[in-house]
Amino acid sequence: MIINGLEYPEDRYYFTISPLHLWIKEENDDSDENIHQLGFTSFLIRYIGGIRTISTRKVGQSLPQGKTLLSIDSGEYVIPMALPIPVTIREGNQRLKKKPRRLNENVYGEWLYRMKIKPEDLSGLIEQETLVKPGSLLEEFIVGEEKMESLEKFNCCPKAFSSSGVVRRKRKKT
C-alpha cells in the first residue's frame, strides 16, 4: 500500500502510536516460538532524514513492557523506542551493526530484531488498533502524523515525545 508516496508492505503490522514508526512481521515457520521481525517504517526514515547509528539490546534479553528496546540517531534526532508489550530478543541483525545506514536504502528489506512475542500480547495490540495492517486505520494515522509534521518539526504529540525521551539536537551554526 502506498500512503502519501511512502510504501507500507501488506505482509506486516504497523504501530499507530507516535513516535513508534515500526513494523512487526510474523515469521512463517513450523515452530511454536512465535518469532516476529521488527523494523522501521519509511515514514520514520523520511522524517528524521536517515539513520546514522542504532543502539540496540543484547540477544537473549527479555524486556518488560515500556522498557527501551533501541535508540536511533539521525544526527538531528536521538529517539529511544520502547514497545508497549514485553518481548524476548532472539537475534539482532548483525549487518546493521556494521552498516546501520543500510536502512536508509532498504527499510523494509532489513529487520532490526527477531523477537519472541506472546500471541496474547500481539492480539491485544491488534484489538486495540495499536497495531494494524495497511488500510484505512494506518492511512489515517500516517496522514495525521504528516499534517502535524510529527518528527520533522517536532510539533506532534509533545506528551509522547517528552515521555519517550526524544531529543532534537540544535544545529551548529556555520
Q: Taking 90 as the threshold, does the pLDDT of residue 161 lie above it? A: no
CATH number for 2-168: choose from 2.60.40.420, 3.40.50.720, 1.10.260.40, 2.40.50.100: 2.40.50.100
Name the grid cell of 108.
523494509
| Bond preceding residue 134 cis, omega within 30 of 0 | no
- DSSP letter string over 108-159? TT--SEEEE--HHHHHHHHHTTSEE-SSHHHHHHHHHHHHTTTTTTS-S-HH
Sign of the dihedral defined by the CA atoms of residues 137, 122, 65, 89, in that order: negative
Domain ranges of the chain: 2-168
pLDDT at 17: 86
3-state helix, strand, coil in the chain (%, to 5): 25, 30, 45
Record the pTM: 0.83
Please say whether the beta carbons of 81 and 68 come within 8 A: yes
Contacts of 52 (CB under 8 A, 6+ apart): 73, 74, 75, 100, 101
pLDDT tens, 53-100?
999 899 999 999 989 899 888 888 888 888 899 999 999 999 898 899
Given pLDDT bands bounded at 50, 70 and 90, which one contains residue 19? confident
pLDDT at 150: 53
Residue 2 zone, left/alpha/beta (φ > 0; ψ -120 to 50; rest): beta
User: What is the C-alpha to C-alpha distance for residues 43 and 64, in angstroms, rounded to an integer?
Assistant: 26
Given pLDDT bands bounded at 50, 70 and 90, which one contains residue 163? very low
Find, among 25, 21, 30, 20, the residue nearest to 10 by Cα.
25
